[in-house]
Amino acid sequence: MRVSGVVAALLIGATALAPAAAAGATHPAPSTTHVVPPPAPSPTAKGKSPEAPDPHPPLGGIGPDGKPVGGAQLLSRGFVLPPHAPALPQHLTAASFVVADLDTGDIVAARDPHGRYQAASIQKLLTSITVLPLLPGNRTLTISRSAADTEGSHAGLVAGGTYTVDDIFRGLLLVSGNDAAAALAEAAGGRAHTVALMNTEARTLGGYDTFVQTPSGLDGWQQLTSAYDMTLFLRAAVAQPRIIAYDTVDRATLPAQHVAGAGKAASHAVTLYNQNYEFLHTVKGALLAKTGYTDAAQHTFAGVIERNGHRYGVVLMRAQRYPQDQWQQATKLVDWATKLPAGTAPVGKLPVDHAVAAPGVATTGAAAVASTTPSATTSRSGTPSPSPSTSRGSSGSKAGRLAIVAVVFILLFLLSQRIRRAAHPRRPGDEQYRLIPRRDPRRPPPRRRPNRPDPPDGPDLRKHPPGE
């Protein structure tokens, strides 16, 4: 009767679990959606791009789930600092900045981190991480007239000339060549296709303030990003050894081109000097840097400095190069951040990205991850992925179904044991015989050695020879 009672109890439990599973399956948790990136302000002039900074840059910072990205503090339009933090370094000119530990995801300090500004050429970091996987370094490209004539800064690519992808990437990152950006975009599938890939890559990394119109960073009326988003792109870039190699070489040479009608200058090799040489060779631990400038963006900077085994990223938006250069301002911010007391709480978080996290560096807690990771993301194909909030119902229903399966399995096991015992009842003494091991009758019984006590006057020398 004991088994019957257990079976009855289990059946009652299974009956109680079934409605809960059904309820979880038929009533999923509601979710909200938000359009990302938010619309850009309307153009204020007839030109194809703004010619001056927007005096009122729009605010982003809301993810597809309608929640603040990185934490509610980051929606501030002013300085965002830890409690009781010392004064920031002097001569910080950026209207917006972020300084963050790229390994833990902690944002140490910020100013207007989700304000949407023009990026200028630091947007080439997003270009690089987008097209790099598509273009092997030894692939040879022929430069089009359109790419060679791209407006703005040039690496010196010759129309009709042939260069390796490695050559062109160095022209992109060492001297910020817009012709190099155009050539890479054409090789990756065309300008429009590359721009679409860049927008998708931004969403994939959690950058919901960014909208791309050009692969070079040349201004467009709708092309905006934020210091927060650029920190995500910077973190992805520093995780790519190829990008670091291109960006940190002191100089590189573009091979001479012998193209009919290209002129005598094309027949000479072009030497590219690293624009960030001073930062990379002056600042201890400098790992990567990219600068930019347009009339609308003003000066922009993105760089990484390693301190005490952690990589700190700094992004400056709408900055000036006086009274101190941008790389000096960025270095002072990192020095300030590393002197904060141990245990200082971050002001925000970057979403967890295991692909770019440094080995051996743990994140600061599951709760922080849950509160900062966007609940709905956009895949590389552009299809929104379901958010955790909308999948709770299905998770609950799965748990209920698994519980029912477990109960049924236990019932079947108990019934099989009952049937087996009924078919083979135990006999008295079964346990006694089962405990005694059986001896093989073919083997002789073991010989018993007689007990030989030691003599009364000392130990047996056969067992303990002298000298032991």
**From the DSSP assignment, how many helices (H) and strands (E) are in the chain?**
13, 11
Domains in the chain (CATH in brackets) are 1-31+393-445 (no CATH), 72-386 (3.40.710.10)
Query: SS3 of 215, please?
Result: coil
Q: Which residues pair with 80 in a beta bridge?
A: 110
Cα gap 47→54, rounded to integer Å:
14
pLDDT higher than 80, residue 370:
no
CA Rg, the chain, in Å? 34
Q: pTM for the complete prediction? A: 0.71
Q: Which of 56, 89, 60, 51 is nearest to 227 (CA)?
A: 60
Cα gap 353→94, rounded to integer Å:
27
Per-residue confidence (pLDDT) for residue 49, from 0 to 100? 84
Q: Which of 287, 280, 346 is nearest to 311 (CA)?
A: 287
Q: Judge contact between 206 and 142, C-beta under 8 A.
A: no
Q: Which of 328, 333, 299 is nearest to 314 (CA)?
A: 333
Overall average pLDDT of the 169-197 stretch = 98
- Residue 124 annotated among the catalytic residues of the structure: yes
Q: Which of 111, 104, 88, 87 is nearest to 307 (CA)?
A: 104
Q: Judge contact between 217 and 334, C-beta under 8 A.
A: no
Overall average pLDDT of the 103-127 stretch = 98
Q: Judge contact between 372 and 347, C-beta under 8 A.
A: no
Per-residue confidence (pLDDT) for residue 250, from 0 to 100? 97
What is the total residue count of the chain? 468
The confidence band for 121, taking pLDDT boundaries of 50, 70 and 90, is: very high
Per-residue confidence (pLDDT) for residue 384, from 0 to 100? 37
Q: Which residues pair with 315 in a beta bridge?
A: 98, 302
Between residues 449 and 116, the one the model is more confident about: 116
The confidence band for 453, taking pLDDT boundaries of 50, 70 and 90, is: low
Listed ranges 109-118, 394-403, 459-468; the one with the highest mean pLDDT: 109-118
Per-residue confidence (pLDDT) for residue 197, from 0 to 100? 98
Per-residue confidence (pLDDT) for residue 172, from 0 to 100? 98
Catalytic one of 176, 216, 375, 387:
176
Query: SS3 of 271, please?
Result: strand
As a whole number, the mean pLDDT across the chain is 81
Q: Judge contact between 212 and 123, C-beta under 8 A.
A: yes
The confidence band for 369, taking pLDDT boundaries of 50, 70 and 90, is: very low
Cα gap 4→7, rounded to integer Å:
5
Q: Judge contact between 133 and 387, C-beta under 8 A.
A: no
Overall average pLDDT of the 108-136 stretch = 98
Tokens (6 digits) for 329: 């301002």
Cα gap 454→457, rounded to integer Å:
8
DSSP 283: S
Catalytic one of 49, 96, 124, 349:
124
Overall average pLDDT of the 415-430 stretch = 61
Cis link prior to 50 (omega < 30° from 0)?
no
- Residue 176 annotated among the catalytic residues of the structure: yes
Give tens-digit pLDDT for 239-286. Answer: 999 999 999 999 999 999 988 877 777 888 999 999 999 999 999 999
Residue 3, CB half-sphere, CA atoms under 13 Å: how many?
12
The confidence band for 433, taking pLDDT boundaries of 50, 70 and 90, is: very low
Tokens (6 digits) for 294: 């347009």
DSSP 347-391: SEEPPP-TTTSPTTPPPS-HHHHHHHS-SS-B-TTSPBPPPGGGG
Catalytic one of 49, 121, 216, 226:
121
pLDDT higher than 60, residue 408:
yes
